[in-house]
Structure 1
Amino acid sequence: MKILISVLLGALLFVESAHCLQCHACTVVNHAGVCQTKTCSHGESTCFKVLLTHSASRVKSYVKDCTTSCKDVKSSLAMLQIQGFSVHVNCCDTDLCNGVDGVRSNLWALAGALLLSLGPALLWFGL
């Protein structure tokens, strides 16, 4: 009976760990695409992406990670606005949702990528 219980508990822990949220994570980088994938800790159910822009130099920096609450991230960065930074915080709750926006936000780029990927097939069929 003890073996059965330990197997069931092990299976439950495996299932729980398999469903942990994954986010992109990096600290103060100049390009949002250089972040790594991170499995969030237990209790961290939100991914966030912060864009910091210094008002004088216009230099942009990104911070991405997991958090327990978007409100916590926003309140911890509030002092940066006083110090001359523009702070934009985006939070989401699905795997890798805090990644680079890129093609998803530009319909023309998406249409162009689709045409380029279909190009060889269209040429093959003589269309």
Structure 2
Amino acid sequence: MNCLVVLVAGLILSASPGNALQCYFCLGSTQRCVTNTVTCSAGERCYLVTVEAAGATGYSAGCFPPAACNVQPTVPGASVSVSCCDTDLCNASDQVKLSLLLFPALVSVWFAIFM
């Protein structure tokens, strides 16, 4: 019974309230996008694109439809990384995928310790 309570509480705490996802927003910045925000449309996810070329790094962030999150563009002479996530302001860094893995990892640790 305690496991069920922990599982439900974890799901509630990791869920985004409503469909109004908040994401950091910038286009073609040389610094991480952590000042401006945007409210996404229903069903969209936060994204962060990082481009490295000729010793410089550029960032773009905002909202994407889920299908755009699966695209990994190829740019000759540059390294391009596209990351998406689905919690408020989760696109602050290139480690956005961590938030998607955090809850299952915590549940696994809980079961390993207390079961």
TM range (shorter): 0.5 to 0.7
Letter in 1 for 2:85: C
Identity of aligned residues (%): 36
Query: 2:78 and 2:48 mapped to 1: Cα distance?
Result: 15
> In the alignment, does 2:52 pair up with 1:59?
no
Q: Show the counterpart of 1:50.
A: 49
Q: Show the counterpart of 1:89.
A: 82
The answer on whether the counterparts of 2:69 and 2:83 sit within 8 Å (CA) in structure 1 is: no
Letter in 2 for 1:40: C
Q: Show the counterpart of 2:3.
A: none
In the TM superposition, what whole-angstrom CA distance separates every residue of 1:94-120 from its partner, at most 9, and x where no partner exists?
00000147xxxxxxxxxxxxxxxxxxx
Query: 2:64 and 2:19 mapped to 1: Cα distance?
Result: 16
* Structure that is richer in helix per residue: 1
Q: Show the counterpart of 1:68.
A: 65
- TM-score, scaled relative to structure 2: 0.58
Residue 41 to residue 27, structure 1, CA distance change in 2 (3 Å): same
Give unpaired runs (5+ residues) of structure 1: 1-16, 102-127
- TM-score, scaled relative to structure 1: 0.53
Q: Show the counterpart of 1:98.
A: 91
Letter in 1 for 2:68: D
Give unpaired runs (5+ residues) of structure 2: 1-16, 95-115
1:50 deviates by 1.0
SS at match of 1:42: coil
